[in-house]
């Protein structure tokens, strides 16, 4: 299992959006056993998804909803520091 996985881009990013696809760090999420997210939230294959889907509580948005973990979208999201880092 790779330590860091780059999430595939589903649709082109706009000019105001971060250019790089999101990253997922297994190391930062190691306090959660694998079965918490697999297969209940994520498919077995690496799959891209959108912020709209996350905002609906799917994929990363299941935890990154502003309550369980920092939000995946909005002004409180750390877009370029966390997920869309180079």
Task: Give, in order, the Cα–Cα distances in Å from 25 to each of 7, 14, 52, 61, 82.
Answer: 11, 24, 21, 15, 9
pLDDT band at 46 (very low <50, low <70, confident <90, very high): confident
Average pLDDT over residues 21-34: 87
What per-residue confidence (pLDDT) applies to 65? 92
CATH number of 1-9+18-86: 3.90.10.10
Provide the CB-side half-sphere exposure for 66 (13 A, CA): 9
Q: Which residue is it, tokens 């002004």?
A: 75
pTM over 0.85: no
Summarize the confidence of residues 57-81 as an average pLDDT.
90
């Amino acid at each position: 299992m790779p330590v860091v996985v780059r999430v595939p881009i589903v649709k082109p990013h706009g000019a105001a959006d971060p250019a790089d696809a999101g990253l997922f760090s297994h190391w930062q999420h190691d306090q959660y056993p694998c079965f918490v997210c697999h297969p209940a939230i994520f498919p077995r294959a690496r799959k891209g998804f959108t912020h709209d889907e996350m905002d609906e509580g799917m994929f990363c948005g299941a935890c990154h909803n502003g309550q369980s973990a920092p939000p995946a979208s909005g002004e409180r999201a750390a877009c370029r520091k966390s997920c869309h880092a180079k």
